[in-house]
Amino acid sequence: MTFAFLTPGRILFGRGAAAEAPARIAAMGRRILLVRGGSVRFADVLAEGLRAAGVAVLELRGQGEPDLPGLEAALAEARPFAADAVAAIGGGSVLDLGKALAALLPSDRPPLDHLEVVGQGLPLSAPPLPLAALPTTAGTGSEATKNAVIGVPAHGRKVSLRDDRLIPALALVDPALTDGCPWPVTLASGLDAVTQVIEPYLSRRANPLTDALCRDAIPRGLAALVRLRQAEDPAARDALALVSLTGGIALANAGLGAVHGLAGVIGGRHGAPHGAICGRLLAPTLRENRAALAAEGHTVARFDEVAGWIAGALGCAPGDAFRQLSDWIDAAGLPRLADLAEGPLDAVALARAASGSSSMKANPAALSPEALARIVMAG
């Protein structure tokens, strides 16, 4: 067996890790572009700490999931500042915006030239700026991935800007920044985190290192979500933050699958939140993938392992795990896709568009457009 394993930059994980942010980020340059979420209180502390250390700071606020027009506007605002480095603090969308700015500020080409699927997918024309990432939700694992997800409204898609050098040079993962996160956000982002350790485990590109990470993370993430539905719990927050980080490392090395292949199209066309889409698609995608592999005589042992972990978290029989997961998600309050989407869902058109998504390349089964449409309708 031969494979390459892409490793993240320096990671500090644990409660209190964020306290080191001002000093560590100040060491990255004297002019810092600070990309922040609108309601992140620690961002004020970070900005004050950087300025106290003699660093010039330009604050730029992310507004929802980044799209191409917003990215172009942010680039125009940030370029005159001539930052030495970028620090991003917020949810996965804010981190993606920070990564895209770090990638494109040194570039002399328009952003679309570097985007996959809808653009030319060209390599970056210059090395990205150094980037520090501080996640305040446990979901995307963007602090450990080599891509930034950007919406392109003109094409109705969410696509990736991808480069190995986009993995943040510094990730400060402090679960305390996620304490008290509202349950709807915790549920959607947490299901995204769980999906991002399940899909790499089932991926065609899985390898022994990603397997080791995901086998620990899948049951850990499921148990943390079940616990956080019951009550706020710092230990469960710690666990979910670790699962999110693990998912970022795993997907960077083993890829994803049909959940994310469909999510990019649904989110791009209908404006629904990414984590909520993934949560809605997870159980039906597991069912369709397992059925397709079994029908072709392939092993489904890994799907049965995943079913066992779900059953352990939910207290049900493994044979009923995927249905029980859907029922649990319903009871936990995640809206259906039809309620999340702007406008009616055309399952057939979405399935056809998703078939060419980059995430589909690692999906364990070659799902037909009909199977993909059934997943959308079940969501």
3-state secondary structure at position 89: strand
124-128, 246-250, 271-275 — most confident range: 246-250
DSSP 207: -
State pLDDT tens for residues 18-53: 999 999 999 999 999 999 987 778 999 999 999 999
**Strands 157-162 vs 147-152: parallel, antiparallel or unpaired:** antiparallel
| pLDDT value of residue 255 | 95
- What is the rounded (10 degree) CA torsion for 233, 239, 243, 245? 100
| pLDDT value of residue 82 | 97
Residue 157 has pLDDT above 90, yes or no: no
- What is the rounded (10 degree) CA torsion for 298, 301, 303, 309? 180
| pLDDT value of residue 225 | 98
Closest by CA position to 307, among listed 325, 294, 292, 329: 325
Lowest-confidence region among 45-54, 76-85, 114-123? 114-123
Lowest-confidence region among 60-74, 85-99, 224-238? 60-74
Over range 264-271, report the average pLDDT. Answer: 90
- Give the C-alpha separation, 113 to 118, whole Å: 9
3-state secondary structure at position 119: coil
- The percent of residues in the chain predicted with pLDDT above 70, rounded, is 100
Residue 356 has pLDDT above 90, yes or no: no
CA angle 115, 143, 28 (to 5 degrees): 95
**Tokens 């030319």 appear where?**
120
- The percent of residues in the chain predicted with pLDDT above 90, rounded, is 84
3-state secondary structure at position 9: coil
Maximum CA extent, the chain: 64
Dig out the tokens for 377 from the structure.
């309708």
Backbone dihedral region for residue 342 (phi beyond 0: left; psi -120 to 50: alpha; all else: beta): beta
Can you give the length of the chain in residues? 379
| pLDDT value of residue 221 | 98
**What pLDDT band is residue 343 in, cutting at 50, 70 and 90?**
confident
Over range 73-83, report the average pLDDT. Answer: 97
| pLDDT value of residue 1 | 67
Beta carbons within 10 angstroms of residue 361's beta carbon: 14
Over range 320-332, report the average pLDDT. Answer: 98
Dig out the tokens for 265 from the structure.
């199209």
Dig out the tokens for 261 from the structure.
């292949």
Label residues 14-40 b or e (16+ Cβ within 10 Å = b).
eeebbeebbebbbebbeebbbbbbeeb
User: In this structure, what are the phi and psi dihedrals at residue 82, rounded to the nearest 5 degrees?
Assistant: 55, 60
What contacts 27, CB < 8 A, 6 or more positions away?
none
Q: Is 198 exposed, middle or buried (0-12, 13-18, 19+ CB in 10 A)?
A: buried
State pLDDT tens for residues 272-318: 899 999 999 999 999 999 999 999 999 999 999 999 999 999 999 99
Query: Cβ(34)–Cβ(62) under 8 Å?
Result: no
- Give the C-alpha separation, 41 to 328, whole Å: 32
Closest by CA position to 97, among listed 51, 55, 38, 175: 38
Residue 121 has pLDDT above 90, yes or no: no
Q: What residues does 374 pair with on adjacent strands?
A: none
| pLDDT value of residue 116 | 85
Over range 74-86, report the average pLDDT. Answer: 97
Q: How far is residue 191 from each of residues 93, 256, 259, 262, 328, measured CA to CA in Å?
A: 16, 14, 11, 15, 12
| pLDDT value of residue 117 | 82
Over range 202-212, report the average pLDDT. Answer: 97
Over range 159-178, report the average pLDDT. Answer: 94
Residue 231 has pLDDT above 80, yes or no: yes
- Give the C-alpha separation, 300 to 31, whole Å: 52
Over range 120-139, report the average pLDDT. Answer: 93
Residue 186 has pLDDT above 70, yes or no: yes
C-alpha torsion sign, points 267, 270, 276, 281: negative
Over range 42-65, report the average pLDDT. Answer: 94
| pLDDT value of residue 119 | 80
User: In this structure, what are the phi and psi dihedrals at residue 112, rounded to the nearest 5 degrees?
Assistant: -60, -25
| pLDDT value of residue 271 | 85
| pLDDT value of residue 338 | 92
DSSP string of 253-302, one letter each residue: HH---HHHHHHHHHHHHH---HHHHHHHHHHHHHHHHHHHHHHTT---HH
End-to-end CA distance of the chain: 37
